[in-house]
Amino acid sequence: MTDLFTPLTIRGATLRNRIALSPMCQYSAVDGFANDWHLAHLGARAIGGAGLVLTEATGIDARGRITPNCLGIWKDEHIEPLRQVTDFVSARGAVPGIQLAHAGVKASRHRPWHPTPNAFVPLEEGGWVPVGPSAERFGGDGPVPEAMSIAEIAAARDAFAAAAGRAVAAGFRVVELHFAHGYLGHSFLSPLMNRRGDAYGGPFDHRVSFPLESVRAVRATIPDSMPLFVRLSCTDWVEGGWTLDDSVELARLLKRDGVDLIDCSSGGAARRADIPVGPGYQVPLAERIRREAGIATGTVGLITEPAQADEIVRSGKADLVLLGRQLLREPYWPLRAWAELRGSGSAPIAEEYAWALAETKR
């Protein structure tokens, strides 16, 4: 019986359990560089026992950052500080993964704790004109984004591949492409954001072109032994938007092109959407894609309890459970889960602590 603590092997990587730190922006980098915060934040979740530790959305291009404070991997100089993070995370028994991202028309925003949170960063304050499939704003402010030319689309595809190459050099052992939440990849997929009439817009086959080309370019860059994940917004939750049926179809194509796992999120293409938010509300998305596309899935969203996470894996609804905010509240959640569930595998506890706690008991 597979449970939350059964190791998961995908290609050449083995996760010690099915618990992953979900990508979460920290808005604490300068010029894209990782620093002590990223080392401590990601390192703490590795000590806490997660099987997979994913970085926040990491810009493949300076213009692809959500905020000027987002992590980046668009130049070789970014590799060295990321290497310190991956060395530490690996040494603590977790697999380090990176989420590669381009924010598209949602780029150049102030971080959430700025006095004007999420507002457009003016060009004179270091902001930039966002790019995307269509020259349409997402927020109400800022300049109208530029619609990408065919050459710019090819350059973005190549930037994903170049970033993936740097991720390998930095010691990451899983690469995830962020095609969710209204950012660049998703904005090509969703009819709500893609108004193009050329080979990259219109019918389904055209809208999936940019994400699929990026996947193929990344797969050709990283080693065969390296797992490749894609995060999708599996539905826009809006009439006329991207649907779960579309995601099942796309998942089959992604699998064909060498993707190993679909990280199933949702939303982000529309400012107003009817989202049935509640505990595990995105689990049915992962379950259906797993069953109908025959590909491994991860699920995320309001999963907070060990028994809840364990049931998802035991019942075959998803292969991996990603936790976001609960792992911010409780970095050692996997240790608590192991103590409560006593599943298969061994306790993901650091030796430095294990002996001391055993000693205290005596």
How many whole angstroms separate alpha carbon 172 and alpha carbon 175? 7
Catalytic-residue membership of 353: no
DSSP state of 60: S
The β-bridge partners of 320 are: 298
Q: Least distance (Å) from ligand FMN to the CB of residue 232? A: 10
Please report the sign of the dihedral spanned by the C-alpha atoms of residue 252, residue 257, residue 262, residue 265.
negative
Parallel/antiparallel/unpaired status of strands 174-179 and 131-132: unpaired
Q: Least distance (Å) from ligand FMN to the CB of residue 96? A: 15
How many whole angstroms separate alpha carbon 348 and alpha carbon 362? 21
How many whole angstroms separate alpha carbon 102 and alpha carbon 356? 44
**Exposure pattern of 74-109 as b/e (b: 16+ CB <10 Å)?**
beeebbebbbbbbebbbebbbbbbbbbbbbbbbbbb
Nearer residue to ligand FMN within complex by CB, 26 or 134: 26
Nearer residue to ligand FMN within complex by CB, 89 or 300: 300
Which positions lie near ligand FMN, rule CB under 6 A?
A: 22-25, 56-57, 99, 178, 180-181, 231, 265, 300-303, 323-326
The active-site residue, picked from 183, 200, 281, 353, is 183
Structure tokens at 37: 């915060």
Residue nearest to ligand FMN (CB): 324
Residue from 98, 243, 116 nearest 160 by CA: 98
Nearer residue to ligand FMN within complex by CB, 196 or 323: 323
Q: Least distance (Å) from ligand FMN to the CB of residue 301? A: 4
Nearer residue to ligand FMN within complex by CB, 81 or 201: 81
Q: Least distance (Å) from ligand FMN to the CB of residue 116? A: 18
Nearer residue to ligand FMN within complex by CB, 120 or 229: 229
DSSP state of 30: B
Residue from 72, 206, 70, 230 nearest 133 by CA: 206
Q: Least distance (Å) from ligand FMN to the CB of residue 343? A: 20
Q: Least distance (Å) from ligand FMN to the CB of residue 122? A: 23
Taking the chain, what is the end-to-end CA distance rounded to the nearest angstrom?
A: 33
The β-bridge partners of 174 are: 97
Nearer residue to ligand FMN within complex by CB, 194 or 265: 265
How many whole angstroms separate alpha carbon 115 and alpha carbon 118? 9
Give catalytic residue positions. Answer: 183
